[in-house]
Amino acid sequence: MQSWLFIPAGNTARLAKAADLPADVMVIDFHSEGSEPSQEAREQATSWLAHQRSTGARFARWVRIRPVNAPQWREDLAAVMSARPDGVIMTGVENPDDVRRLGSEIYELEQRHGMALNSLPLMLELGATARGALATERMALDPHPRVSGVTWDPAMLARDIGWAAAPGKGGWPGPLAEVRALIVLVAAALGALALEAPCPVWRDSEAFARACALARRDGFDAMAALHPAQLAEINTRFAPTEAELEVAGRIVTLFEESPSANMLSLDGRIIDRAQLARARRVLGN
């Protein structure tokens, strides 16, 4: 799942075109900039999610909800759960208790809609505020079993601390660079997918290509998109190489041969179950 396209929940025109786009994951976004989804928008989003599920969409169907300390997040979640989305991006995470709170809410909704319990994965959007940034490391030390991915929101963090959001020629500025690095480290510690935040540049193809290359180099597994024009570059840049596929296959084989092991040795280095999770993701398992 290399490319994630964010679509505002109330944007009917973009929803109508989404199914034909080459994104691995379509994210119905209830927390997009300047958005205040109405009941009509919830119904449209739920209908779209349900239709794509019934027709066997080739992409995963996720939703991005508002923080658990914001109004109406429950209404957004309750509305879309009837369509059985494939995952939820949780915004505004400031501590592990926030994640447990959402996890409990999802558990009840899974029961209500006949879903397998604890089947819905979460991606945590961390460090959107100074308080949240300082708590980022705690997510690796107190993990929730639903967490399958980690991402961040540099624009929100920049606004909170009064910094410029965009990276300059020398890379991301100060605190933003630190949070971005922590996202990669937390994801690695959890064996979770590290999702790079969307880049606002899409008309300048060379600049966007550089942003993708930087994210890939720095350890991100995937990247979010704000515009369909960004998808091709993301898909190309983040596709696993033959060497990565070969190593991933060997890691999976090692653990299949020793299913009770927590750590094994490969080419003189220690491989743990977090790396097994990443290997399976590289292979598309």
CA 201 to chain centre: 19
| Per-residue tokens: 220 | 């991100």
User: Given pLDDT bands bounded at 50, 70 and 90, which one contains residue 102?
Assistant: very high
Q: Is the pLDDT of residue 34 over 60?
A: no
Ordered by where they begin, the domains of the chain are 3-239 (3.20.20.60), 240-285 (no CATH)
Q: How far apart are CA 257 and CA 273, in angstroms?
A: 14
User: Given pLDDT bands bounded at 50, 70 and 90, which one contains residue 39?
Assistant: confident
Query: Which of 157, 202, 193 shows the shortest CA–CA distance to 177?
Result: 157
Q: Is the pLDDT of residue 133 over 60?
A: yes
pTM for this prediction: 0.89
Query: Which of 123, 179, 118 shows the shortest CA–CA distance to 1?
Result: 123
The helix/strand/coil state of 166 is: coil
Q: How far apart are CA 70 and CA 77, in angstroms?
A: 13
pLDDT given at position 36: 67
The region of weakest confidence among 161-165, 185-189, 209-213, 217-221 is 161-165
Average pLDDT on 166-188 reads 85
Q: How far apart are CA 174 and CA 46, in angstroms?
A: 40
User: Given pLDDT bands bounded at 50, 70 and 90, which one contains residue 166?
Assistant: low
Pairing of strands 263-266, 269-272: antiparallel
Stated length of the chain? 285
pLDDT given at position 33: 56
- CA-based angle 233:238:243, to the nearest 5? 135
User: Given pLDDT bands bounded at 50, 70 and 90, which one contains residue 241?
Assistant: confident
Q: Is the pLDDT of residue 186 over 70?
A: yes
Side chain identity at residue 214, one-letter code? L
Q: Is the pLDDT of residue 256 over 70?
A: yes
Q: How far apart are CA 186 and CA 184, in angstroms?
A: 6
